């Protein structure tokens, strides 16, 4: 069975500060891992995905994530937060046809 | 616009009524997914189609829920005898085989259902 845990349902950072959103997964087989962003009243948009290639994955809008098998983690980072990064972020895991999403982390960027 | 579209965007219905939602995926995508999302939660998988075949259904999908994708293009999700607990955002996503078994999912804007 697969599952995702996102630590911290709400994260606040100052504009220009480091963004770190945590995701830990559980999977009995090598997983595919994803980060999605959801802006208010919009659909989910893919930020980045890990599919067993390089462990450091770069995505859109300056975000990146590192797959750490030993820690079963796939944390999302961005060196410098922008006001436009304020949104809900979801981590997801898949090993085939089904996707399992975390409960999300709401990111607030303080000017 | 060639993204995933969903109709209607909002639906208010009375308890006990039937509702049907439609999803039009990206045209070349053979995979289609339905999810339900409630406030403060991530999307929960409901069902998955590859072309016209419904290959997986979640245990969350009670007998009151049925989904179809008759020609392998658009899909419909019907909820019969709606209950207040069905109030949620219903999301549709599509994907295609992408250098491996799991392709990127493209999500539609969702249909927000309110059952009164």
- Cα separation, A59 vs A89, in Å, equals 13
In this structure, the strands spanning B75-79 and B88-95 are unpaired
Q: Is the pLDDT of residue B101 over 70?
A: no
Judged by average pLDDT, the poorest of A25-29, A36-40, B26-30 is A25-29
Asked if B11 and B111 touch (Cβ cutoff 8 Å), the reply is yes
Contact between chains at B109 and A96 (C-beta distance less than 8 A): no
What is the pLDDT at residue A88?
96
- Cα separation, A97 vs A76, in Å, equals 24
Q: How many CB atoms lie within 10 A of CB B50?
A: 15
B107 touches chain A (CB under 8 A): yes
Of the candidates B55, B102, B105, the beta carbon closest to that of A51 is on: B102
Contact between chains at B102 and A92 (C-beta distance less than 8 A): no
What is the pLDDT at residue B1?
53
Nearest chain A CA: its distance from B41 CA (Å)? 5
A51 touches chain B (CB under 8 A): yes
Contact between chains at B42 and A42 (C-beta distance less than 8 A): no
Closest CA to A110 of A83, A89, A87: A83
Residue whose token pair is 């891992």? A33
Nearest chain B CA: its distance from A25 CA (Å)? 14
Q: How many CB atoms lie within 10 A of CB A96?
A: 14
Q: Report the largest interatomic distance among the alpha carbons of chain B, rounded to a whole angstrom.
A: 45
Closest CA to A105 of A50, A37, A56: A37
Spell out the residues 6+ positions from residue A53 whose beta carbon is closer than 8 angstroms to its own.
Answer: none
Spell out the residues 6+ positions from residue B98 whose beta carbon is closer than 8 angstroms to its own.
Answer: B104
Q: Is the pLDDT of residue A41 over 70?
A: yes
Structure tokens belonging to residue B105: 């999912």
A32 touches chain B (CB under 8 A): yes
DSSP 8-state code for residue B26: -
A103 touches chain B (CB under 8 A): yes
% of residues, chain B, pLDDT over 90: 71
A110 touches chain B (CB under 8 A): no
């Amino acid at each position: 069975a697969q599952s995702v845990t996102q630590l911290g349902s709400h994260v606040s950072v100052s504009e220009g500060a480091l963004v770190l959103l945590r995701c830990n997964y559980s999977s009995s087989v090598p997983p595919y891992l994803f980060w999605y962003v959801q802006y208010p009243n919009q659909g989910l948009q893919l930020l980045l995905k890990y599919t067993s290639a390089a462990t450091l994955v770069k995505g859109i809008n300056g975000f990146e994530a590192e797959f750490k098998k030993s820690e079963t983690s796939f944390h999302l980072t961005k060196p410098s937060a922008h006001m436009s990064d304020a949104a809900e972020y979801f981590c997801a895991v898949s090993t085939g046809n089904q996707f399992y999403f975390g409960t999300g982390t709401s990111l607030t960027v303080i000017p | 616009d060639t993204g995933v579209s969903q109709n209607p965007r909002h639906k208010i219905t009375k308890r006990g009524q039937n509702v049907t939602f439609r999803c039009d995926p990206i045209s070349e995508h053979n995979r289609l997914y339905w999810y339900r999302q409630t406030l403060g939660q991530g999307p929960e998988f409901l069902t998955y189609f590859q072309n016209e075949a419904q290959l997986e259904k979640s245990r969350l999908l009670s007998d009151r829920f049925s989904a179809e994708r008759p020609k392998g293009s658009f899909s419909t999700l019907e909820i019969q005898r709606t209950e207040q607990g069905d109030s949620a955002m219903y999301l549709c996503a599509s994907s295609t085989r992408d250098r491996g078994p799991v392709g990127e999912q493209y999500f539609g804007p969702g249909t927000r259902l309110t059952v009164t």
